[in-house]
Structures are given as structure tokens and as C-alpha cells.
Chains A and B, each alone.
Chain A
Amino acid sequence: MADASAAGAGGIRIANVGHTYRPPRGRPVTALEEVSLEVAENEFLALLGPSGCGKSTLLYLIGGFLPIESGGISVGGTPVAAPGPDRGVVFQHFALFPWKTVRENVLYGLEKQRLPKAEREARAAAFIEMVHLDGFEDSYPSQLSGGMKQRVAIARTLAMDPGTLLMDEPFGALDAQTRSLMHEELLAILKRTAKTVVFVTHDVQEAVLLADRVAVMTARPGRIKTVVDVADVGGAADAIRDPRFVEKVDFLWGQVRDEALAAQKGGAG
């Protein structure tokens, strides 16, 4: 585990990780089996895979929320044991605090970090503006649309400036325009302050556009099926017309489709 050469000092190393859910009632579900993956420091890895294959589970394991039962995960050379603000998570279902306003939601983590008050306020305001929610600072989550809530969740995590970003379908609830604005904002932030990113998505084009590498997972129990290097395409807004871009998207589409079909068969049987 201490070997940091491959993943880089700040990278993520996942070695032979499995996870089985054991609900109090019902039978155990093996979500992940023998997953091995390395994400280099400051690399952007997108994670694709059919619904229910264990993508969120993998993020929760890296985040330290679930116990690591088999195999090992280290982030920045340190084995993961508990959650921490060094690994900022954008949860699939937002997990905003309903009794806190937009501003208070964004401020919460900054208060826990004991940042000086002036800086907290400034950062919260800047990130709320970044996700175009200025004017809604004093609204409660119950007063926002799904896409707005999602943007609060993104602002809240980005404002903490974590070295590692774990994003679970962070733009899934957004319309195409807002989504592409958010792509630009995210890439701009990563250019300013480099981060290691694991980004779960169902949108193949989004994955190729944003990521350095794209990993495709198999149907449940999830394993890593293929990893494709896409660093040479994407990034710019007009990249989607690049034939090499189209080629990579098509290839990945095929991979995900096969697994989605397998998942359907598995689900029926």
C-alpha cells in the first residue's frame, strides 16, 4: 500500500476491493468484487457503468463512509479509514441540510475547517455565484428545484477546496445549457487548483469531454471492465466534433451498452 510510485503521492490506489451489503432483512448483495484501479495525482477519472453496478458504493468506500471489508484503498499514500474533508463528496442525492439555507449549507464545511469568518463568507458568496444561485442565498432546499439543489451541493463541496473530489453524477439533474456552463466552471477550477477527481456519470460524452481517463464497470457485481485514455480529446467546447472524440465516445457507448444489457439479463434471472 505504501508504494506510491504508480498512483503518485496524492493519487488514489484501489486494490482488490470488494463490498457486500448485508441488509438486516433480505439477502446480502455483492455490489463490488475485486475492483482494482489507480488514479494518478491530479488526474480526472470518469466512471461509467450500468445502474446498480456499484459506482456509488465505490465512491463511498473511497470517501471512508463504508468499511473496507476486502482489499485496500489509499489516498495520497494513506490508507482510507474514515471520512475526511480531504476527500470532498458530491452526493448523488445532494444530501443538503434541509434546515439550513443555501448560504448556511455552503458555510457549514467552512466553519468546520475553522476558516476566518471573512474568508468563509467570501468563499461561500463566490461559490454560490459560480453556480449561478446568487439571489437564493437565504432560500431553504425545500424551496429549490432539483437542479438548483444539485448546484448547491456542488458549491458546498467545491468551496471546501478538497485535494480529492468524488462526484456522484453531479450534473445529472441539470439541463444541457447549465450542464455545459458547469463543465466550463469545473475545468476552470481544476486548472486553478489541481485536484484528483473521480467523477461518476451516465453521460458518455460528458465523461470523454471532462476526463483524462474513463473507466467502465461491469454489471453487478461491479468490476473494472476497461479503462480508456481520453486525455488527448475533449477539454474544449468544440471537441465534440473532433472525429477522434466521436470514435472514443462510440467505443465507450458500446462497452456500457453491453454491460447494461448484461445487467438487465442478470436482473431478470
Chain B
Amino acid sequence: MGMRFEQDGIGAAALRLLAGTGSVIALLAAWEVLARAGVVSEFLLPRFSDVVGRIWEDALGGVLFVQIGLTVWRAVLGFALAGLVGIVVGVVMARNRGANWFFDPIVSIGFPSPKIAFLPVFILWFGLDDSSKVLMTVFAAVFPVIVATAAGTEGVDKYLIWSARNAGASERDILHEIVLPAALPQIMTGLQVALPISLIITIVSEMVMGGEGLGGNMIQAGRFADSLGVFAGIVQIAIAGYVLIKGMEILRRRLLAWHQETQQISTF
């Protein structure tokens, strides 16, 4: 099937997109049909087309972009900080015995614990504004990055490091030019795990703390029995998540072009 699409430009790309999202389209169609058939009341399950209408209205008014923008900004900022901190801590843990002694138990306890339970603490410490939402996101998303980076850094083939030393590389060169690129596939995997966590935690924080943003809006809509608003929120979150995850996939493919062949071979 896939083969036939390869050759001809835009039409093929559209077809491929259709093939890739077919199940979602079918699901949405079923939603529409079910709602129209009146099996459940409009209030419990509004029509998909009405939900789209609501989103369209919000878009025309500009509210939509402010709300999505706020949520995505918090999630991406938290994710970026978690990535930065996670990579630094992971590398230091893998290369320094003292740091490993210090961080290892913390990570072992922190990784599996439900981070959202700390939300009240964050509210107490940082209040109800952006900083506590972002910091909550950083706290939840940092662990998979630390663990993946530490494992990737530890696993670097020693002969690669030797061969860089042989070429006259300094220890600093080796960190930047050998260890990080060699660990990059695993680091990217850690980031790919951290990204949806960031979005989820941001939205849950918004729901609990209220205020602007997709999560706050949905809770608000729920309180006011605005079922169209609730479902519009769900669709918006789904779209934001999809765009972020796809963006990350593209980034991974870009950065790991050298790695793809090995991946392809290993999947056969």
C-alpha cells in the first residue's frame, strides 16, 4: 500500500496523512453519528460539528490562541527547563561518583512517585501564578531525562573516547564532541517521554489552580455546565499534544539522521 503513495508529490502526502489519521477520523465520525442519532442527550455528548463550531468561534475572537498559547508556553517552558536540568544532572551523575552517590537515591525515590501529589507544596511555596505551574511541570518531567541521560552517558563505548583522546581531544572536547552525541539517542528518548508528561502536568496544574489556560477553562466550563466548552477543551488539548509530539519526532529524525539506518535494520 505505502509503496504506491511514494511517487507523486502533494496528492501522495495527503493520502498518507489520511491513511495515518484514518482511525481518528472514523472515531470522530462515529461521535458525530452517535450524537445526531440522539442516543445520548446533547448535553452529555454534544455533536462534534458543534464542538468544532465553538472552537471556530473562539478562534475568530482570538481567545482560543491566547488559551492554547498560555498552556503550550507553560508546558514547553517546563519541558525545556526539565530537559536542561535533566541532561546536566544525568551527565554529572554518570561521570562523578560523589554526584551519583547524592542523586541516585533521590532519583530512585522521585521517579516512580506521583509528582502531582506535590502540587499543594508548590502552591504553598510559589503561589497560584505561572511559576508554580511551570515548576510543577519541571519537577514532574525532569526524572525521565535524568535517568535516560545517565544511562546513555554511562554506556558510551570506551573506544570512542579513546579514539578521540588519540586524536588529541581534551577532556572538555570529549564531553561535547563525543559523550553527548554518543548518548543523544537515549537522551532524545528521555525527552520524548518527558514531553507528554509536561503537557499533562501543566494542564492538571491549571485545572487545580484555575486561571487562564486550557485546563482552567475546562474546569470553569464544567462548573458552569457548559458541555460544549468541556468537549472543545478536550479537542484543543488533543490537537496541542499531537502537534508537540509530532514536532518532537521530526526533531529526533533530524538530529539522529546517522542513527536511523541502524534503527531501521534492527526493526527487521
Contact = CB atoms under 8 A, between A and B. Distances in A.
B166 A85 contact: yes
The A interface, classified by DSSP as helix, strand, loop or mixed, is: loop
A98 B162 contact: no
Contacts of A142: 258-259, 261-262, 265
B261 A143 contact: yes
A83 B166 contact: yes
Interface stretch (A19-27, A28-36, A106-114): A106-114
A87 B162 CA distance: 12
Interface residues of B, number: 23
Nearest to A160: B167
B261 A108 contact: no
User: How big is chain A's contact interface, by range?
Assistant: 20 to 34
Contacts of A87: 166
B168 interface: yes
Contact of B164 (A63, A84, A108, A160): A108
Nearest to B177: A108
A113 B181 contact: no
B61 to A, nearest CB: 47
Nearest to A114: B168
A194 to B, nearest CB: 21
A234 interface: no
A245 interface: no
Contact of A97 (B178, B262, B265): B178
Contacts of A84: 166, 168
A65 interface: yes
Interface string B56-74: 0000000000000000000
B184 interface: yes
Contacts of B181: 97, 99
A91 B159 contact: yes
Interface in B154-212: 157, 159-160, 162-169, 173, 177-178, 181-182, 184
Interface string B248-268: 000000000111011001000
A101 B257 CA distance: 11
Most buried by B among A82, A98, A101: A98
Contacts of B173: 112
A61 interface: no
A112 B165 CA distance: 10
Nearest to B261: A142
A113 B181 CA distance: 21
Contacts of B165: 65, 82-83
Nearest to B178: A97
A140 B258 contact: yes
A82 B166 CA distance: 9
A89 interface: yes
Contacts of A60: 162
Contacts of A93: 159
B177 to A, nearest CB: 8
Ranked 4 nearest A-B pairs via Cβ = A109-B167, A95-B159, A112-B168, A95-B163
19 contacts: A65-B162, A65-B165, A65-B166, A84-B166, A84-B168, A89-B163, A91-B163, A97-B160, A97-B164, A97-B178, A97-B182, A98-B182, A98-B259, A99-B181, A99-B259, A108-B167, A108-B177, A113-B167, A142-B265
